[in-house]
Structure 1
Amino acid sequence: MKTKILMVVAALLFLGGCGYKDIDRRFFVVSIGVDKSDDKENMYDITLKLAVPSSETKTASTESRMMTESAETISEAVRIIKSKVEKELDFSHTKIIIFGENVVEDDLTNILDWFYRRRDIQAISWTAVGSPTALSVLQAKPSGERTPSNSLFISFGNVGTETPYVTSVYKFDFRRKQAERGIDPFLPIIKTEEEAFSINKTSVISNMKQALVLSEEETKYFNMLRNRASKFDIKVEKEGKPYFLFSTDKIRASFDLKSEKSNRPVISFDVQLSGIVEEAFETLDEAKANEYEKAVKMEVEEQINSLLKKLQKEEVDPLGFGLRYRATETGKESNKIEKWDEMYPDVQFKVNITVDMNNVGIIHDQEGHPE
């Protein structure tokens, strides 16, 4: 028994010297922003958003501190910030990394290296582009936010709003796409609007620089093709005016890559949609459901074809067509990559849309007649 007590005491003595600090002696870094510095001597403006721990266990603390420092490297900026705070910086709760617009326009390789090497920054941290700057996004304080940066965490974590406009990208996923051949990484764009923000555009990265920005509508269909959206609204027009709005409850998308006899590759996209008419600007007839399904089919087919051709024109491949080619073709990897780079500009796209309209959403009066 005495031996066991001595072993416990010895273990406690070792814990006292291991560098562990109590929670009330730490600042938790919940989000990090990286901007290009206006100072010619420094390269970056690094912003850390620090959550201040609360002594109250029942209520969350909204208190936070913003620390910004200019330096040639991220490591140097963090060390300078440490000299200006009285508590230890804890990066284990860092959930989002934001790069300013002027940062993604240049090579991201060196900037990302620091984040990949830090063992205390989780691989499941989200990454994004801040518009116009990362600092402006971190400074935004949406009403109702319970803890610092919690609004962003909820938006990207799919635990709050369900929208096809938000493109969530983890740090590990961005790293994987960066290293993988045959697919280009991408990042969501967070735009500040007074005290709030909007997330409805996507930045496509090629050669570790921003090569293309997808608009709101393009981002929506991009997430459809990635199978990252189920709740989807499709506006159908008639003679240039709104006709009806089709709301989906289920979406499935897949593609095949084949070569024709002319050796020209063909990418066939199959998209299956099911849902109801959520809003109509004219009186609809249930007997014309097939006609309405064709109208939805034509609208979706046009939007997808436009998006795919735009990606092809800009020579970016965020959907991983080249990755599929590598996986299905035989031969040396270097030869396959070179061959795909030559073939991609000549790829032909075929889009097949299947629409299942459960009902047209007609409201009947008490006598059973459409209103």
Structure 2
Amino acid sequence: MPSKKSKTKLFIIVLVPIITLLTGCEFKDIDKDVFVSMIGIDKSDEGDKPYKITLKLYVPTSSFKQSPEPQYSYITQTGETISEAIRILETYSDKELEFGHAKLVVIGEELLKENKASEVLDFLLRRPDIQMISWIAVGRPSAEEIVKMVPQGENAAYPALFNYFDDIGNESQYIITTYLFDFRRRMVEEGIDPILPIIEKKKSHFEISKSLVLVDKKDPHELSTLYTGIFNILSMNTQVADLIINNEEEDFIAKINSMDSKHKVNVQNNNKIALEIEVSLTGYISESKHPLKIQNLSYYNQLLEKVAKEKVTEFITEMTDIGFDPIGFGIDYKSRTLHNKRMNSEEWKEAYKNAEIQIIINPRLKSTGAIQ
């Protein structure tokens, strides 16, 4: 039986060759990287180089006191492909471009009208250093102008645009937040269409109150501010909402601070379907042009039900008429129907276009507001 000493010698003899085969990991100092804050992708004016890429780079400072105001640098390049433009942009800096901190990708509206969303998505998904939780948005008039704009009040630590989408700052019912992973799912999945927020440049600020629905081989469809808000309510993307109630007798605003929405597809005979949507709205009256009585609260709930039902019906009707499905009724249909009994793609599109719309609103106004 080998002794303890011989075992130790044997272990060392085996270990030394193994250690010599190991390689150390490459290390690069952080001051050799420059961090990308936003990525802008536009359609260029050059025929042979259709893509125009704009990168917003953080300018490093030693302390906040040294630079309390935001400081960025911008680099722009056109290319035959997005990757080619990025490769050329890498030669603009003595440091390596680090995309791991890029939280927002802005796509120019003109590029989306050229049906280039799939090509842009392919690039974003293949790069391992771009986060799947990055936000995707549409830039108007262009992605470059959105990326290069620094609005009033922005600080050096956090770009103002991030506050619109991170669920920590702005909570508007008209702002849609679309992540890269969800954008990919909607692009490749049949039964639900991609929807992106539109960032519009104003003189000294951004305005994000509209959205764009995309369908392959079709022109993008813009949703108005009202319909964008309704989409957020139906898809449970917002926690608060305001609904204007206006008729000959009453004129008030219902503040909704709790909501619940459910939708499903009821399959009928001969490839006929009914789209059923049930929405529960809980809140109070936040503003009124006329005196209100708590005794009439049930009447005010009836008015809220009527108006909400009209607006939701108008929105769904518009979506079915043009064949766009940002809510995802197609996915619900597939989940409720066996694969061997499902309609094919063309049959579903025809059924969706001619679907019966059933809207159920459960209003729960609890008070007429607090007036001291």
Q: Map 1:206-285 onto structure 2 (within 5 A).
A: 206-207=215-216, 210-239=219-248, 243-260=251-268, 264-285=272-293
CA distance in 2, matches of 1:124, 1:198: 22
How far 1:215 sits from its partner (Å)? Answer: 0.4
Deviations 1:3-49 (A, max 9, x none): 9xx99x9999834xx2x321112110111001111122310110011
How far 1:181 sits from its partner (Å)? Answer: 1.0
CA contact (8 A) 1:137 1:190 kept: yes
CA contact (8 A) 2:104 2:134 kept: yes
Aligned residue pairs: how many?
Answer: 355
Quote the sequence identity (%): 32
How far 1:106 sits from its partner (Å)? Answer: 1.5
CA contact (8 A) 1:182 1:337 kept: no
Deviations 1:268-310 (A, max 9, x none): 1111011111011001111111111111111111110000000
How far 1:342 sits from its partner (Å)? Answer: 2.5
CA distance in 2, matches of 1:13, 1:258: 61
Instruction: Tell me the residue number matched to 1:290.
Output: 298
Q: Computing the radius of gyration over CA atoms, which structure comes out larger, 1 or 2?
A: 2
How far 1:156 sits from its partner (Å)? Answer: 0.5
CA distance in 2, matches of 1:304, 1:159: 28
Deviations 1:24-83 (A, max 9, x none): 121101110011111223101100111122222788772211101111111111111111
Instruction: Tell me the residue number matched to 2:323.
Output: 315
How far 1:109 sits from its partner (Å)? Answer: 1.4
CA contact (8 A) 2:64 2:156 kept: no
Instruction: Tell me the residue number matched to 2:369.
Output: 361
Instruction: Tell me the residue number matched to 2:179.
Output: 170
TM-score normalized by the length of structure 2: 0.89
CA distance in 1, matches of 2:342, 2:355: 20
Matched to 2:34, the amino acid is: F
Deviations 1:153-180 (A, max 9, x none): 1210111011111100000110011111
Instruction: Tell me the residue number matched to 2:70.
Output: 62
The counterpart of 1:304, out of the listed 312, 327, 330, is 312
Instruction: Tell me the residue number matched to 1:182.
Output: 191
CA contact (8 A) 1:326 1:333 kept: no
Q: Map 1:316-335 onto structure 2 (within 5 A).
A: 316-332=324-340, 335=343
Deviations 1:309-349 (A, max 9, x none): 00011101111111111111113488543431231111011
* Structure 1 vs Structure 2 CA RMSD: 2.5
Matched to 2:24, the amino acid is: F
The counterpart of 2:99, out of the listed 81, 91, 96, is 91
CA distance in 2, matches of 1:330, 1:344: 18
Instruction: Tell me the residue number matched to 2:24.
Output: 14
The counterpart of 2:164, out of the listed 155, 162, 170, is 155
CA contact (8 A) 2:199 2:207 kept: yes
CA contact (8 A) 2:112 2:220 kept: no
CA contact (8 A) 1:211 1:314 kept: no
In 2 relative to 1, CA 88–300 (structure 1 residues): closer, same or farther, beyond 3 Å?
same
Matched to 1:302, the amino acid is: E
Instruction: Tell me the residue number matched to 2:53.
Output: 46
Deviations 1:106-132 (A, max 9, x none): 222122211110000010000010011
CA distance in 2, matches of 1:11, 1:159: 49
How far 1:357 sits from its partner (Å)? Answer: 1.1
How far 1:192 sits from its partner (Å)? Answer: 0.6
After superposing the two structures, state which structure 1 stretch, 141-150 or 303-312, moved more.
Answer: 141-150
The counterpart of 1:128, out of the listed 132, 137, 151, is 137
Residue 202 (1) aligns with residue 214 (2):
no
In 2 relative to 1, CA 32–155 (structure 1 residues): closer, same or farther, beyond 3 Å?
same
How far 1:147 sits from its partner (Å)? Answer: 3.4
The counterpart of 2:31, out of the listed 21, 24, 45, is 24
TM-score normalized by the length of structure 1: 0.89
In 2 relative to 1, CA 242–130 (structure 1 residues): closer, same or farther, beyond 3 Å?
farther
CA distance in 2, matches of 1:323, 1:220: 22
Instruction: Tell me the residue number matched to 1:368.
Output: none
